Amino acid sequence: MTVITLCQKIASKWLLISLNVLVFMTPPTSADPFIPTFEELAPGVWVGIREDNPRNPVMGTATFVISDTGVVVYDGGGLPLFAERVIKKIRSLTDKPVTHVAISHWHGDHNFGIHPYLEAFPNVQVISHKFTHEVFNSKRIRYIDNYGTDTPNYKKTVEGYLETGKDRDGDPLTPAHRKYYQTFIDDADIIHADSQRVKITQPTITFEDKLSIISGNRTIEFLYLGDGNTAGDIVMWLPKDKIVATGDIVVHPVPYLFNVPPRKWAATMANINALGYEILVPGHGDIQRDTSYVDLLIELSNSIADQRDTLLAEGLSEDEAKEKLDFSAFENRFTGGDPYLKIFFEGWAKQPFSSAVFKALKGIPMVEIIPEE
């Protein structure tokens, strides 16, 4: 697995295209890929967001809640260094221990790095949905064994681009290409080193529908509101503050639509809207302060599912119908016409969703849990 596919959500060919063709449009990068920008959303409610969502490796947002008795963390880190920086921020704000770390879903960019919490806070409890726990004990999670191992090889490939002055298609590199590729080379060693530290952290508390944590004078609810990015996504809901953190049920500015069942996903997002939140923290990307972005996701989901049903009713085969699915009404609404984001709309949304909407009709699990032998 290359750095391009660290989270197993990204179609590698599309990211390679983005690196080789439109990489020069990437925003400036920070010193390394594991630096969160912290923001306090309400008294004692903080988020740590890795800026530039498409940057490799993708890294889930961390949300934490501080009370007078302890700290509850939701999605504390996709790699250890990110988690360690969140822990450092927590310790700068309070001397109270982290009592709970919740895992939104099983994808590694949200939890492969949370083991530093157990080292820093020996009594911490780890929360997940029952489905997530089952995946952690199945062959499905074994991609962790090769996590980031191809980064050195890809670094050599990029060094070759810089040496020859041409990308993999033989096109000349611009100065901006060179700067970006040099940034990747500068990042590659830290990415590779930290990816070798990943671990599966087993939950100590699992639930199926709802779990409430009383932390001091705060009530923190973890809710399963239906299938989304996986069949076990949980959200964190703070009813007093009207803040919801969604994991990858909601990702901004371009959704992750690998193995996402459209009707169920739309229903889950409607359930999120029904909470009456005033602030929504996506699994990746910018904070949302109204329902407009989630409404757009619901519209996209229902439109593609409706198109699928109409095309099949007309007698088209699955392959024929798949080719006719039309995302054109949505692409610019997600990307703003930015050619860089259009690459990710193609690779993260259009291509995988075009397959998932048909898979959802077959009555088989979107992700099969294969038991360990």
Q: What is the pLDDT of residues 349-362, one digit of tens each?
A: 999 999 999 999 98
Residue 10, pLDDT score: 36
Looking at the chain, the whole-number percentage of residues with pLDDT higher than 90 is: 73
What is the SS3 assignment for 245? strand
Question: CB atoms < 10 A from the CB of 260, how many?
Answer: 26
Does 191 have pLDDT greater than 80? yes
Nearest-angstrom CA–CA distance, 63 and 52? 17
Residue 93, pLDDT score: 98
Q: Are 275 and 237 in contact (CB under 8 A)?
A: yes
Residue 30, pLDDT score: 61
CATH number, domain of 287, equals 3.60.15.10
Question: Is residue 166 assigned to a domain?
Answer: no
Question: Is residue 189 assigned to a domain?
Answer: no
Question: Is residue 350 assigned to a domain?
Answer: no
pLDDT tier, 338 (very low <50, low <70, confident <90, very high otherwise):
confident
For residues 186-196, average pLDDT? 90
In the predicted model, what is the mean pLDDT of the chain?
89
Residue 177, pLDDT score: 63
| DSSP class of 225 | -
For the stretch 90-125, pLDDT in tens is: 999 999 999 999 999 999 999 999 999 999 999 999
Burial class of residue 30 (count of CB atoms within 10 Å of its CB; 0-12, 13-18, 19+): middle
Cis peptide before 175 (omega within 30 of 0): no
328 vs 154, which has greater pLDDT? 328
Looking at the chain, the whole-number percentage of residues with pLDDT higher than 70 is: 90
DSSP assignment string, 327-342: -HHHHHHHHTT-HHHH
Question: Is residue 206 assigned to a domain?
Answer: yes
Question: Is residue 255 assigned to a domain?
Answer: yes
Question: Is residue 320 assigned to a domain?
Answer: no
Residue 2, pLDDT score: 31
H/E stretch holding 218 reads strand 218-223
pLDDT tier, 175 (very low <50, low <70, confident <90, very high otherwise):
low
pLDDT tier, 340 (very low <50, low <70, confident <90, very high otherwise):
confident
338 vs 195, which has greater pLDDT? 195
Question: Is residue 204 assigned to a domain?
Answer: yes
Number of structural domains, the chain? 1
For the stretch 270-328, pLDDT in tens is: 999 999 999 999 999 999 999 999 999 999 999 999 999 999 999 999 999 999 999 99
Nearest-angstrom CA–CA distance, 255 and 344? 9
For the stretch 3-62, pLDDT in tens is: 333 333 334 333 333 333 333 334 444 678 899 999 999 999 999 999 888 777 889 999
Residue 22, pLDDT score: 35
Question: Is residue 305 assigned to a domain?
Answer: no
Domain span at 277:
3-142+199-299
For the stretch 229-245, pLDDT in tens is: 999 999 999 999 999 99
